[in-house]
A and B are shown apart, each in its own frame.
Chain A
Amino acid sequence: DGGITQSPKYLFRKEGQNVTLSCEQNLNHDAMYWYRQDPGQGLRLIYYSQIVNDFQKGDIAEGYSVSREKKESFPLTVTSAQKNPTAFYLCASSIDRGRSEQFFGPGTRLTVL
């Protein structure tokens, strides 16, 4: 089955530790995205990538880093510089420009203790 996988579903980390969230897609999509969602809020864009080895900052990139070494994979690292990292993180991909919708993964709920 084609889709987007995110792992793990729940993640706990101690304050001050870096943590990497996985996102893999087998939809052959060019574009991939990372969003952050806080309780009762909409989605805010962290980073996006249109092609391999290229990515752009979204609205709230500070304290986060990404890589796009393969078309299928777009991991997000939450660094210790992120002041309030506890949130729900969603990864998405889309096939091409224009009318195409984004396909989302199941999300990772990160809790920093």
Chain B
Amino acid sequence: AQKITQTQPGMFVQEKEAVTLDCTYDTSDQSYGLFWYKQPSSGEMIFLIYQGSYDEQNATEGRYSLNFQKARKSANLVISASQLGDSAMYFCAMREDETSYDKVIFGPGTSLSVIP
């Protein structure tokens, strides 16, 4: 069964606008962590933001914020004030059981294109 679902294969956003990238996940663990990574065309994966399942507040890192809805099992990434350099693939990932670092599961990704 698919553990991480990203339903938007491709997204377009106007420069300076905000965009939301969707991520839903499936786990029976109470303790887990959620990550978002950016992959530019160069191929390297860049960590953006982290949300723990017990974190009471939504995570924020600069222009990135995570809209975490635990009951709905969704962890959407919000990018504010989009820039041309934000054009890339974006991956949602999950580590089940925050006390384990053995396995991280990645979603299929969303391709974001920022239009000038």
Asked if A and B are interacting partners, one says yes
Q: Which A residues contact B (CB, under 8 angstroms)?
A: 31, 33, 35, 40-45, 48, 50, 56, 58, 88, 90, 92, 94, 96-107, 109
Contact of B103 among A58, A96, A103 (CB under 8 A): A58
Tally of B interface residues using CB under 8 Å: 25
Q: CA of A45 to CA of B105 in the docked complex: distance in angstroms? A: 8
User: Using a CB-CB cutoff of 8 Å, which residues 1-25 of chain B contact chain A?
Assistant: 4
The list of the 6 closest CB pairs from A to B, nearest first, reads A97-B101, A104-B45, A101-B47, A43-B106, A42-B106, A107-B43
Q: CA of A66 to CA of B20 in the docked complex: distance in angstroms? A: 38
Is B33 in contact with A98, judged by CB distance below 8 angstroms?
yes
Q: Which B residues contact A (CB, under 8 angstroms)?
A: 4, 33, 35, 37, 42-47, 50, 52, 91, 98-109
User: What are 9 sample pairs from A and B whose C-beta atoms fall under 8 A apart?
Assistant: A33-B104, A40-B109, A42-B4, A45-B104, A48-B102, A94-B101, A98-B98, A101-B35, A102-B47
Contact of B101 among A42, A50, A58, A107 (CB under 8 A): A50
